[in-house]
């Protein structure tokens, strides 16, 4: 029976199961399929856009365009054109398409932390010498709003978190307290919670300093809350780390983690994470999912059930909110699964080669190994999907561990070693981890060490078999009804001596269309106006972005990737 003899509506459903690449190949080589595709083009491409972008099948093209102003979709007239544009953007991310390095000078030259809201066109940064700036993504030299050093303290370093229009940061000038500010255009009828006179005065001063002729408050923030862990436990030690994932803010000392709901601005729970009689341990990173709370603590990663989410249980009801449900140690062989990958080192390009290059991302060859060297290392960062289906942890030595189907792992239904991929980013004895960013909507992980910046693209494939628990063990590298098909790895191409200053990298963020990072530029580097930096300071960290252009068809070399 010929495939073409099927009713068109069934044939269309079959075609929708193909990847975008396979679909286009069918369109190019089979006249019969081409006729069916051409007759149902808009419907099919509307479905296929879900493979290359986070879109809903119910969204209209106009709704998608309005929801993604940062993607420059004004010239997109139909779903086919959108699908092509997003596919080309994906090519740029893996080194098969054009990309370029751009320097952003509006943020200054002593950047400590940065957060980017690409849809709103905002870059939020804190500085090594104090202060917070909000600048425009696309307009050079434009500062939209700021909190100055008089409020935050001279030579202070504020860690910042940003989500859903809320900006959270520690204020070094106000010991062991945290502030939450909200975008001015998000206030509407809402009123802030407990704030004090100093916040109000700082807000009024910032508004006057950044008054515009048209009265625009774009990029402006207003105080929303002042959070003090001592109001919950006056006798506890100072907090060492904090994390904000809307709508939850959490801060942790060596003994207790404190949770707040940002909408109601009230405490929502605590977890005892340390023994007060044990020797002090250093909390290095916190993470939140809808279900779990993650803590990086020395050589171990601890996972707890959140205390602030009602109705959580583990089927067998062995655990309750606040209980520890999982622990991963870096000196245990259990986390070395059957997939252990090392990234090959790429040759440093000369300035002449960089000048001719149209790609600021290039594919990295991989080495699959079954021989592992066990070593004790410190967990320094962890990220999780909101549903905890995938967890990514990194050690100080630059080892990245990707755990799939984490909920089943935490329940003990799958062994950790059968659900983990270990990717070794480390590239030499002088190399160490610096930063990680996880764009879970596009399944991309950016990791920086003191020598390189790598981007891992996780490619998942749907399988109805995986909906049946009987087949669970056949593909342990799974996420719901999908399995991990392959991992593509690319690396940012930076100026010839940039790797020497990557050790000073203070922040990294991956967004839909850009890879954002900070490093100290060489004297020969130039900004978007062609001006060289004047400051040769070890902390003269400038914001750069690798922009994925995805605007023309490029060649597609033989893929080198890890197939799972």
Residue 34 and residue 41 in contact, taking contact as beta carbons nearer than 8 Å: no
Q: Give dist(CA 65, CA 465) in Å, integer.
A: 35
Whether cis (ω within 30° of 0) applies to the bond prior to 247 is: yes
Q: Please give the average per-residue pLDDT across 352-357, as a whole number.
A: 58
d(CA 290, CA 310): 11
Q: Report whether pLDDT(444) > 60.
A: yes
Q: How confident is the model at residue 333 (pLDDT cuts 50, 70, 90)?
A: low
Residue 181 has which token pair?
């500010």
- % of residues, the chain, pLDDT over 70: 77
75 CB neighbour count, 10 Å cutoff = 7
DSSP secondary structure letter of residue 54: -
Asked whether residue 520 carries a pLDDT value surpassing 60, the answer given is yes
Q: In this structure, are strands 399-404 and 143-147 parallel, antiparallel, or unpaired?
A: unpaired
Q: Which DSSP state fits 24?
A: H
pLDDT in tens, 219-247: 999 999 999 998 888 878 788 899 999 99
Q: How far apart are CA 183 and CA 181, in angstroms?
A: 7
pLDDT category at 537 given cuts 50, 70, 90 is: very low
Identify the H or E element spanning 487: strand 482-492
Q: For residue 158, what pLDDT band results from cuts at 50, 70 and 90?
A: confident
The per-residue pLDDT for range 34-71, each reduced to its tens digit, is: 888 888 888 888 777 765 555 566 678 888 787 777 77
Start-to-end C-alpha separation, the chain: 33
pLDDT(406) > 70: yes
> What are the Cα distances from residue 542, in Å, to 1, 60, 106, 505, 538?
63, 39, 9, 9, 11
Q: List helix spans (H) across 142-265.
A: 149-152, 197-209
pLDDT digits (tens, 9 = 90+) for 174-192: 877 899 999 998 887 667 7
pLDDT tens-digit profile of 102-154? Answer: 888 888 878 889 999 998 999 999 988 888 999 999 888 889 999 988 888 76
| Count of CB atoms situated within 10 Å of the CB of 90 | 21
What the block records as the tokens of 235 is 């006798």
Asked if residue 353 has pLDDT above 70, the reply is no
The token pair at 533 is 């930096």
CA dist 288 and 296 (Å) reads: 12
Give 6's DSSP letter. Answer: S
- Cα 172 versus chain centre, distance: 26
Q: Which residues pair with 454 in a beta bridge?
A: 447, 491
Is 226 within 8 Å of 194 (Cβ atoms)? Answer: yes
Each residue of 366-376: pLDDT tens digit?
776 655 555 67
pTM of the shown model: 0.85
As beta bridge partners, residue 478 has 483
Predicted local distance difference test score (pLDDT) of residue 90: 86
Average pLDDT, the chain: 79
DSSP E strand stretches across 246-365: 248-252, 256-261, 266-272, 283-288, 292-297, 300-305, 324-329, 339-343, 361-363
Within a 10 A sphere around the Cβ of 550, how many other Cβ atoms? 23
Residue 534 pLDDT level (bands cut at 50, 70, 90) = very low
| Longest Cα separation, the chain | 78
Residues in a beta bridge with 136: 122
Q: Is 110 helix (H, G, I), strand (E, B) or coil?
A: coil
> Three-state secondary structure along 60-83?
CHHHHHHHCHHHCCCCCCCHHHHH
Q: Confidence class of residue 197 from pLDDT cuts 50, 70 and 90?
A: very high
State whether the Cα torsion 397-458-295-155 is positive or negative: positive
């Amino acid at each position: 029976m010929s495939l073409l003899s099927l009713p068109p509506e069934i044939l269309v459903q079959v075609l929708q199961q193909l990847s975008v690449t396979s679909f286009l190949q069918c369109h190019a080589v089979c006249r019969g399929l081409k006729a069916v595709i051409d007759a149902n083009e808009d419907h099919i491409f509307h479905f296929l856009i879900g493979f290359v972008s986070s879109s809903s099948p119910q969204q209209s093209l106009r709704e998608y365009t309005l929801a993604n102003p940062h993607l420059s979709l004004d010239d997109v007239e139909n779903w086919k054109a959108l699908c092509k544009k997003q596919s080309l953007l994906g090519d740029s991310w893996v080194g098969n398409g054009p990309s370029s390095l751009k320097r952003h000078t509006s943020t200054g030259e002593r950047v400590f932390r940065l957060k980017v809201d690409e849809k709103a066109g905002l870059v939020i940064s804190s500085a090594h010498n104090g202060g917070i700036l909000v600048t425009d993504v696309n307009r050079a030299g434009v500062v939209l709003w700021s909190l100055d050093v008089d409020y935050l303290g001279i030579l202070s370093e504020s860690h910042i978190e940003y989500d859903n229009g809320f900006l959270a940061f520690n204020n070094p000038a106000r010991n062991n307290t945290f502030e939450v500010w909200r975008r001015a255009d998000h206030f509407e009828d809402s009123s802030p919670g407990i704030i004090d006179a100093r916040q109000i005065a700082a807000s009024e001063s910032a508004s006057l300093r950044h008054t515009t002729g048209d009265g625009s408050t774009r990029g402006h923030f207003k105080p929303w809350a002042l959070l003090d862990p001592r109001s919950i436990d006056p006798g506890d030690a100072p907090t060492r780390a904090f994390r904000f994932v809307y709508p939850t803010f959490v801060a942790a000392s060596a003994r207790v983690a404190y949770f707040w709901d940002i909408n109601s601005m009230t405490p929502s729970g605590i977890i005892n994470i340390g023994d007060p009689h044990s020797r002090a341990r250093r909390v290095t990173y916190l993470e939140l999912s809808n279900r779990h709370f993650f803590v990086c603590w020395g050589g171990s990663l601890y996972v707890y059930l959140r205390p602030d989410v009602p109705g959580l249980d583990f089927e067998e009801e062995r655990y309750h909110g606040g209980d520890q449900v999982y622990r991963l140690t870096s000196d245990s062989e259990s986390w070395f699964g059957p997939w252990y990958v090392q990234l090959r080192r790429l040759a440093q390009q000369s300035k002449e080669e960089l000048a001719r290059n149209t790609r600021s991302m290039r594919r990295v060859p991989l080495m699959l190994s079954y021989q592992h060297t066990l070593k004790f290392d410190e967990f320094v960062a962890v990220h999780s999907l909101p549903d905890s289906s995938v967890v990514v942890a990194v050690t100080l030595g630059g080892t990245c561990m990707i755990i799939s189907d984490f909920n089943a792992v935490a329940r003990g239904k799958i062994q950790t070693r059968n659900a983990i991929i270990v990717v070794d980013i480390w590239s030499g004895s002088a190399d160490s981890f610096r930063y990680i960013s996880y764009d879970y909507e596009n399944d991309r992980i950016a990791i920086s060490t003191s020598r390189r910046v790598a981007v891992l693209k996780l490619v998942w494939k749907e399988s109805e078999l995986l909906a049946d628990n009987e087949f669970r063990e056949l593909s342990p590298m799974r996420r719901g009804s999908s399995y991990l098909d392959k991992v593509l790895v690319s690396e940012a191409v930076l100026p010839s001596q940039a790797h020497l200053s990557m050790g000073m990298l203070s922040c990294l963020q991956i967004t839909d269309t850009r890879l954002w990072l900070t490093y100290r530029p060489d004297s020969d580097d130039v900004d978007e106006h062609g001006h060289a930096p004047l400051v040769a300071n070890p902390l003269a960290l400038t914001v750069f972005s690798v922009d994925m252009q995805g605007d023309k068809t490029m060649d597609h070399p033989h893929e080198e990737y890890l197939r799972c």
